[in-house]
């Protein structure tokens, strides 16, 4: 059981790796097709920008590989954004696994951009209500609430905190930085998807 953490050029891979190692799972940080294909789980970590992550995936010829994966895939923050069709962040065209566009938060009232800090997340399905907690967010861009939304949060407007399409899960927050709440969310990902 190996977890492939896809190296898409962004930083902060170590925190994601550490969160998974603490679960006694083997990890590999990689941009090789073969490693990703044979992994039991795949994580698209998310620090950077949508365009930098997409161009890194393209230059390693990984876009089609990722789109065709059948094992559970978790996209974190930017890693979630690139699952969508496109992002307003530098007008980036993304993988299109989930329909919809990633939009930018607009400053209004006291809602500053980026959203930075711990926000309350509400899961829509009763089975996941025990995951309703504060999670750590650091984002200027967001996914609107849609049919693929599995959990919502509010920042001046409601947005998707967790999305799911088949074996692809995306979370806008950083589970690896969300203390015990993040650990519980990763439990859910590794055990229930």
Show which residues are catalytic. Answer: 77, 174, 176
**By the rule CB under 8 A, 140 interacts with other proteins:** yes
Which of 164/177 has CB closer to other proteins? Answer: 177
Q: Do residues 17 and 27 make contact, with C-beta atoms less than 8 angstroms apart?
A: yes
Which of 59/154 has CB closer to other proteins? Answer: 154
**By the rule CB under 8 A, 28 interacts with other proteins:** no
Residues 6+ apart with CB under 8 A from 65: 33, 36, 37
Which of 34/110 has CB closer to other proteins? Answer: 110
Residue among 48, 53, 85 at smallest CA distance from 165? 85
**By the rule CB under 8 A, 93 interacts with other proteins:** no
**By the rule CB under 8 A, 142 interacts with other proteins:** no
**By the rule CB under 8 A, 154 interacts with other proteins:** yes
Which of 150/174 has CB closer to other proteins? Answer: 174
Vertex 93: Cα angle to 91 and 98 (nearest 5): 120
Number of H helices, E strands in the chain: 6, 14
Q: From 14-22, 34-42, 64-72, 162-170, give the range in contact with other proteins by CB under 8 A.
A: 14-22
Per CB under 8 A, contacts with other proteins among 73-92 are: 78
**By the rule CB under 8 A, 23 interacts with other proteins:** no
Which of 117/166 has CB closer to other proteins? Answer: 117
Which helix (DSSP H) or strand (DSSP E) does residue 57 occupy? helix 50-59
CA 170 distance to own-chain centroid: 4
Q: Residue 65, SS3?
A: helix
**By the rule CB under 8 A, 24 interacts with other proteins:** no
Q: Applying CB under 8 A, which of residues 45, 48, 75, 100 lies at the interface with other proteins?
A: 48
Q: Do residues 88 and 142 make contact, with C-beta atoms less than 8 angstroms apart?
A: no
What is the spatial distance between Cα 87 and Cα 64, in angstroms, rounded to a whole number?
Answer: 18
Residues in contact with other proteins by CB under 8 A are 11-15, 18-19, 47-49, 52, 78, 107, 110, 112-120, 134, 136-140, 154-155, 174, 176-179, 182-183
């Amino acid at each position: 059981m190996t977890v492939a953490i896809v190296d898409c050029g962004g930083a902060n891979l170590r925190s994601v790796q550490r969160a998974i190692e603490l679960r006694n799972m083997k990890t590999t940080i990689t941009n090789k097709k073969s490693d990703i294909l044979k992994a039991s789980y795949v994580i698209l970590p998310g620090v950077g920008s949508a365009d930098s992550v997409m161009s890194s995936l393209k230059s390693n010829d990984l876009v089609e590989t990722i789109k065709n994966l059948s094992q559970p895939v978790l996209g974190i923050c930017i890693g979630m954004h690139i699952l969508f069709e496109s992002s307003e962040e530098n007008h980036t065209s993304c993988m299109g696994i989930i329909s919809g566009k990633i939009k930018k938060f607009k400053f209004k009232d006291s809602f500053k951009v980026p959203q930075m800090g711990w926000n309350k997340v509400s899961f829509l399905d009763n089975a996941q209500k025990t995951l309703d907690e504060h999670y750590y967010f650091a984002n200027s861009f967001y996914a609107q609430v849609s049919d693929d939304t599995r959990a919502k949060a509010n920042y001046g407007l409601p947005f998707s905190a967790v999305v799911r399409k088949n074996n692809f899960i995306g979370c806008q927050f950083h589970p690896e930085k969300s203390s015990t709440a993040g650990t519980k969310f990763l439990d859910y990902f590794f055990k229930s998807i």
